[in-house]
């Protein structure tokens, strides 16, 4: 068996030099196939406030230069365990959201051919819907853990059904989520009305607010999340605004009172061994970032997601 090709050796090529791929990994075209593909989706036409997440993938890649190959928190060397590669970006129409959603779905489906799993860097949260559609083709309805300041289960914005605030309502309506195992983590801030929570609950979502994480602690929250998802195929979707603006200022819709980066990473690490089948990190908008705080946090989140995939045995393919 061929050994996985890992990142560029930082003892030979300084971290500020060399390829601008995620964690300085090889490109997909250099290895032919991979177990995990890190792919960017530079799309932000679905945002409702500050734009700029189209530049998220490149900023996260740049911030990822300092990542190292061994993860002591999870006791895994993900790049030695799996062939991980940077699959570049999915280019899609910035003027037509419907066409962009279709493009992302088709490209993600092609990338996953042969069992490759994706860690996707956005882009805005609109992209979660086509990614979930693609996964449902392979696994059927999946469990979802959604880390976000916001619910993202609203119906429409200005009459538009496909935006960064609507992907999980559409996913429930389309039957691609296992509604016995869906939940939000880190939500907070004002809503349009109490009906937002009632609608969300009716769709099957459980909620762990950022205040819950503070009061209950990481370990108790992880136990509750693991009980909810069980052994089901799991998708993890992370809007970087789940973090407090002190930890992630570079995002489009910041809300006070969020998680710390340490809390988010520790919750993710508590999911080790879950049946993770894919994940995304979205809403990094570097124009509002200070000293790359947000991009650095997002790069570590993506690294933890790759590491979790290294600890999660691939599931057999199923038809929905």
* Known binding-site positions: 125, 148, 150, 152, 239, 241
The C-alpha torsion from 195 through 201 and 207 to 210, rounded to 10°, is: 0
Per the annotation, binding residues for Mn(2+) are: 125, 148, 150, 152, 239, 241
Residues 6+ apart with CB under 8 A from 84: 4, 23, 25, 34, 35, 36, 37, 38, 78, 306
Closest alpha carbon to 273 in 231, 218, 306: 231
Q: Is the peptide bond before 123 cis (omega within 30 degrees of 0)?
A: yes
Residue the block writes with tokens 């066409």: 99
Distance from C-alpha of 101 to C-alpha of 222, rounded to nearest angstrom: 32
Residues 6+ apart with CB under 8 A from 144: 132, 168, 171, 177, 178, 181, 182, 183, 234, 235, 236, 237
Contact yes or no for 320/136 (Cβ under 8 A): yes
Distance from C-alpha of 168 to C-alpha of 191, rounded to nearest angstrom: 17
Sign of CA dihedral 98, 100, 103, 105: negative
Sign of CA dihedral 233, 45, 84, 242: negative
């Amino acid at each position: 068996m061929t050994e996985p090709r890992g990142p560029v050796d930082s003892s030979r090529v300084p971290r500020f030099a060399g390829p601008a791929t995620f964690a300085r990994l090889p490109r997909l075209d250099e290895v032919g196939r991979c177990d995990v593909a890190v792919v960017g989706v530079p799309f932000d036409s679905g945002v409702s406030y500050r734009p700029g997440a189209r530049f998220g993938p490149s900023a996260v890649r740049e911030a990822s230069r300092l990542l190292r190959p061994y993860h002591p928190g999870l006791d895994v060397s993900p790049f030695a365990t799996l062939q991980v590669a940077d699959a570049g970006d999915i280019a899609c129409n910035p003027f037509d959201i419907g066409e962009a959603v279709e493009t992302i779905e088709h490209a993600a489906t092609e990338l996953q051919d042969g069992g490759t799993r994706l860690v996707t860097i956005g882009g805005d949260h609109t992209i979660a819907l086509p990614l979930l559609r693609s996964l449902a083709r392979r696994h059927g309805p999946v469990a979802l853990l959604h880390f976000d300041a916001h619910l993202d289960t609203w119906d429409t914005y200005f009459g538009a059904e496909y935006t960064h605030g609507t992907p999980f309502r559409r996913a429930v309506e389309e039957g691609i989520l296992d509604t016995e195992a869906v939940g939000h983590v880190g939500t907070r801030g004002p809503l349009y009305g109490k009906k937002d929570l009632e609608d969300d609950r009716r769709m099957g979502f459980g909620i762990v607010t950022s205040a819950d994480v503070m009061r209950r602690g990481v370990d108790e929250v992880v136990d509750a999340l693991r009980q909810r998802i069980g052994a089901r195929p799991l998708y993890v979707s992370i809007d970087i605004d789940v973090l407090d603006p002190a930890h992630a200022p570079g995002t489009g819709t910041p809300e006070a009172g969020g998680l710390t980066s340490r809390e988010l990473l520790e919750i993710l690490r508590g999911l080790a061994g879950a049946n993770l089948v894919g994940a995304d990190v979205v809403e990094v908008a570097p124009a509002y970032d200070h000293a790359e705080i947000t991009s650095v946090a997002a790069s570590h989140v993506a690294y933890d997601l790759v590491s979790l995939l290294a600890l999660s045995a691939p599931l057999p393919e199923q038809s929905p």
